[in-house]
């Protein structure tokens, strides 16, 4: 009798016989059965030779190298947000940050901008330009 919460495997009788024989012989199972037999709880990640799990928590000082603002059509409700050139005067502004993405992400999480990010409601988008 099958258990009520037991997973149903979509294997043919021949595949079941082959797997049983491999297990009895102590041999490794073919790779194609990994996702059929075992639930994969890992998240998507980039993996390469020499990659370490160590996360650097260095807090980097941020300095403004370039201020990016697109002038917008001003309306009466937005007049106090932008100056005559279209630059945002108060509130959060877009940031363009150059550097190693691993260090920058750690700095955003624990650095000087963290409070500003939390007060602005969190990050909306992080774009990492591939090399």
Q: How far apart are CA 55 and CA 110, in angstroms?
A: 12
Sign for the pseudo-dihedral over CA of 6, 8, 11, 12: positive
Average pLDDT over residues 43-67: 72
Instruction: Provide the pLDDT for residue 7.
Output: 60
Using one digit for the tens of pLDDT, what is the confidence trace for 80-90?
Answer: 666 677 666 66
User: How does residue 118 score in pLDDT terms, banded at 50, 70 and 90?
Assistant: confident
63 has pLDDT over 60:
yes
Q: Tell me: pLDDT of 77 over 60.
A: no
pTM equals 0.35
Residue 108 CB coordination number (10 Å): 19
| Comparison of pLDDT for 26 and 91, the residue scoring more | 26
Least confident of 52-56, 85-89, 125-129: 85-89
């Amino acid at each position: 009798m099958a258990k009520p919460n037991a997973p149903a495997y979509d294997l043919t009788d021949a595949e079941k016989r082959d797997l049983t024989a491999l297990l009895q012989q102590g041999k490794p199972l073919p790779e194609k059965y990994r996702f059929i037999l075992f639930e994969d709880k890992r998240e998507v990640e980039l993996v390469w030779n020499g990659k370490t799990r160590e996360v650097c928590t260095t807090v980097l000082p941020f300095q403004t190298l370039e201020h990016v603002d697109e002038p917008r059509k001003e309306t009466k409700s937005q007049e106090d947000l932008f100056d005559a050139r279209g630059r945002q005067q108060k509130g959060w502004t877009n940031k363009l940050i150059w550097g190693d993405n691993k260090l920058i992400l750690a700095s955003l999480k624990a650095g000087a901008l963290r409070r500003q990010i939390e007060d602005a409601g969190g990050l909306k988008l992080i774009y990492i330009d591939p090399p």
